[in-house]
């Protein structure tokens, strides 16, 4: 609250940590989260002799890593974390309990980091080309919600990850975080329509 008024905080990014995690998800053939579409321009999964049990373990470890990557404060690791060689500062895994994932991702480090940096740079260029547009999109949705419900919006926080996903849409990927397709984010009218239900749920 600021001076007794509700306050909202929206952070928008195309975080390299999130992009790397999703790149790894795709090349490792991990389906979870089922509803989130694939990234564009990522090679198909590597085919290996992984057993069903080994794949299930890998998927479990990736889901834990994903939760810690998207919302680290909500999903703290019970054991210390360590940086993984080849990923700069973009991948940290628990020192215990991530052996399958650690072994599987090493061969993908260079490609994953390059993909994440290029995608992040593209997002940063596009955001810089439309100064003020980002804020206005959310302010407009909040104002429309306030008119619809006849009151000020509650205080809330929202993190928005703008990602090069293969399908247009908005998906919850954490309790306070959504993923939105970059193409949808660049379409002012369509994004305004898509973000309204998210704002209504929080505000």
Contact between 11 and 162 under an 8 Å Cβ cutoff? The reply is: no
For residues 24 and 112, what is the distance between their CA atoms, to the nearest angstrom? 7
Instruction: Please tell me the predicted confidence (pLDDT) of residue 8.
Output: 87
- Over residues 13-69, the pLDDT tens digits come to 999 999 999 999 999 999 999 999 999 999 988 766 778 889 999 999 999 999 999
Instruction: Please tell me the predicted confidence (pLDDT) of residue 100.
Output: 95
Contact between 16 and 117 under an 8 Å Cβ cutoff? The reply is: yes
Q: Which residues pair with 165 in a beta bridge?
A: 39
Instruction: Please tell me the predicted confidence (pLDDT) of residue 148.
Output: 87
E-only strand ranges, 28-182: 81-83, 92-94, 156-163, 170-172, 177-181
* 8 alpha-carbon distance from chain centroid: 20
Contact between 121 and 132 under an 8 Å Cβ cutoff? The reply is: no
Contact between 177 and 161 under an 8 Å Cβ cutoff? The reply is: yes
Angle at 186 between CA 15 and CA 110, to 5 degrees: 30
Instruction: Please tell me the predicted confidence (pLDDT) of residue 6.
Output: 63
The token pair that represents 123 in the structure block? 């997002």
* DSSP 8-state secondary structure symbol assigned to residue 30: -
Q: Which residues of the chain have pLDDT under 70?
A: 1-6, 47-48
Instruction: Please tell me the predicted confidence (pLDDT) of residue 1.
Output: 43
- Dihedral sign (CA 14, 18, 23, 25): negative
Q: Which of 159, 168, 173 shows the shortest CA–CA distance to 186?
A: 168
């Amino acid at each position: 609250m600021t001076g007794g008024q509700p306050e909202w905080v929206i952070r928008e990014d195309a975080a390299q940590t999130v992009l790397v995690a999703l790149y790894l998800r795709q090349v490792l053939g991990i389906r979870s989260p089922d509803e989130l579409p694939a990234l564009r321009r990522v090679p198909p999964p590597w085919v290996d002799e992984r057993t069903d049990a080994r794949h299930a373990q890998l998927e479990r470890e990736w889901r834990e890593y994903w939760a810690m990557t998207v919302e680290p404060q909500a999903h703290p690791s019970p054991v210390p974390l360590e940086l993984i060689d080849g990923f700069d500062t973009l991948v940290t895994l628990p020192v215990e309990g991530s052996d399958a994932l650690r072994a599987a991702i090493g061969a993908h480090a260079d490609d994953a980091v390059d993909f994440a940096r290029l995608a992040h740079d593209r997002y940063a260029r596009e955001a810089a080309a439309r100064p003020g547009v980002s804020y206005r999109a959310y302010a407009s949705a909040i104002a429309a919600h306030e008119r619809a419900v006849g009151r000020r919006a509650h205080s809330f926080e929202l993190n928005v990850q703008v990602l090069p996903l293969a399908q247009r849409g908005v998906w919850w990927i954490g309790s306070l975080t959504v993923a939105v397709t970059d193409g949808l984010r660049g379409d002012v009218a369509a994004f305004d329509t898509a973000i309204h239900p998210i704002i209504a749920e929080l505000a």
